[in-house]
Amino acid sequence: MDVNKIKKISAIFLLVVISAPCLSEAPSPIEGDAEILKVLKDSLAGSVVNLEKTIERCSKIANDQSPAIIQGKFDGAKSKEDLIVGISHFYFKNMFECEKEARSALAYDLAMLISFNENFKIPTEDIELVQSKLVLQPFEQIGYQVKYNRLDSDLKDKLSEKLSGEPFDLLKVLEANGLSGK
């Protein structure tokens, strides 16, 4: 048997395990439960498509941003690091806000699937990993918010006035402010 065949069989096996989570150790779901599972999966698929589209839309906004934002110069920062923190905070915040509704919907659908699966003692670790690593906001981004909160009020006001709102391109703004190199 060649490697591709083995891979195909493995993939089908994985799909069967995920799609029909009611093997020997777990009690068999009744017919209604199978229908509920289908509804949950359909909803999940819709949320995935919606988030994919939202991410593409938000990325386009960042790429098409106005030159005024890209060329923004920010005086008053005590150090290069303060400026990087401020710009980074708004970069992550704006992108997250743009995608938040779609992410929340997908996180909810994944939570529903996890909750449903728990009734049948099906391993949900993988679904939880997808939720935490791909859908929820990374804690590193909150870290930038924490650092931003410590900045001087004057700098925060200037940054907020210029950067708060729509997603933007991080590298372009860093480069426009001479922050891309050493």
Residue 118 within binding range of other proteins, rule CB under 8 A: no
Produce one character per residue of 88-111: b if its CB has 16 or more CB atoms within 10 Å, e if not: bbbbbbbbbebbeebbebbbebbe
Which range touches other proteins (CB under 8 A), out of 8-16, 22-30, 66-74, 160-168? 8-16
Q: Which of 34, 39, 142, 171 binds other proteins (CB under 8 A)?
A: 171
- Nearest CA-CA partner of 28 in 19, 36, 20: 20
Q: What one-character DSSP code corresponds to residue 131?
A: I
Asked whether 97 and 104 are in contact (CB, 8 A), the reply is: no
Q: Other C-beta atoms within 10 Å of 76: how many?
A: 12
Q: CB-based contacts of 51: which residues, under 8 Å, 6+ apart?
A: 99, 102, 103, 105, 106, 135
Residue 70 within binding range of other proteins, rule CB under 8 A: no
Q: Which of 40, 70, 112, 130 binds other proteins (CB under 8 A)?
A: 130
Within 21-60, the residues that bind other proteins by CB under 8 A are 41, 44-45, 48, 51-53, 55-56, 59
Q: Please report how close the Cβ of residue 52 comes to other proteins at its closest, in angstroms.
A: 4
Question: Which residues would be at the binding site for other proteins (CB under 8 A)?
Answer: 11, 14-15, 18-19, 41, 44-45, 48, 51-53, 55-56, 59, 79-81, 84, 88, 91-92, 99, 126, 129-130, 133-135, 138, 140-141, 170-171, 174, 179-182
